Structure 1
Amino acid sequence: MAALRRYCLISRPHDGLVSMHRLVQAVTLNQLTDGQRRAWFAAAGTVMEQALPGTPQAPAAWPDYRRLLPHALAVLPPGADALLEISRYLGAAGDFRTARTLARQLCDQRAERPDPLAARHNLAYRTGEAGEAAAARDQLAALPPICERVLRAEHPDTLAVRHNFARWAETEEATKLPR
């Protein structure tokens, strides 16, 4: 750390954090083998997953999410569970369009996995938050029978899907009413 600081390759530590110039990052990454690069990204992804607060709806955690967001997007592999948490943070914090974009990427990545239900539910919910109630309703319409088959009718996730389907269906109908 002292040598890196002496050559101005990293900033002075502040609140336990240092920053490195992007050019230094790029040169360092370029000198790694593919195997080393994958190993470092995997390690960084693990650290990032552990660093996330785990409370995306809690406003007190939003500054931490905001600070970690660019780093998480850089190191987390596509389809990582932590990206679902980040999408939930973005939605809770009011960035509906970015939350929907991330939810769509997650849904696409998880389509091959055995249980893409959480990603599909998240995408539909974020679509509704982004102002597209009809699209959210249509995306959610297919999920209740799948949830009932996979999770059971009384499972909390099945109930949440039903609730959100009703929410976006009602919102869509309300927009059609004459004023």
Structure 2
Amino acid sequence: MNLSRPILLASNSPRRKELLTGLGLQFEVRVKEVHEDFPEHLKREQVAEYLASHKAEAYTSDLQDEVLITADTIVCLGDRILNKPGNDSEAFDMLRALSGTHHEVITGVCILTKNSKTIFHDVTKVYFKELSNEEILYYIEHFQPFDKAGAYGIQEWIGKIGIEKIEGSYFNVVGLPVQKLYTYLKDLKVIVL
């Protein structure tokens, strides 16, 4: 795949790196510490877009000819946003709340260049079966829910045994809506086939 400009990914997420690599893109990872606070009045989709844009702003003065990609994924149960759990107890409470119901995963993405800024989001509805306390505890003990919004990874054990169906992009739930991202990068002439 030919690129008109170098791509920078501003994320430490191994899942986002894997998804971008899966698109056949070469990129460099650059990460800065950015606070993930957001104004309380924002709607859920706006929160994801705001956080992706906010992360990108930290790199504005660094960009020359590169294209920067930032993203933020949030898990929403009704109007409640489930962030990354801080401990076992928070992870358990989140997974118990998601059990037997559906929630939405929203990923906001920002594509930033020296002269332009494109922001978009994608939404996927995820349906969990009723999880037993033992299943939740097993997952928390044997996997790493602490770096994931909503305390779970769809690609991990709990996704395999617990998710009945999804509506929308699977990859969006993993952390990057790659089909939409590819389309935007093509439209912006970053990807040249």
TM-score (ref. length: structure 2)? 0.24
> Rg larger in 1 or in 2?
1
TM-score (ref. length: structure 1)? 0.25
Q: Which has the higher contact order (CA 8 A, sep 6+)?
A: 2
Structure with bigger strand share is 2
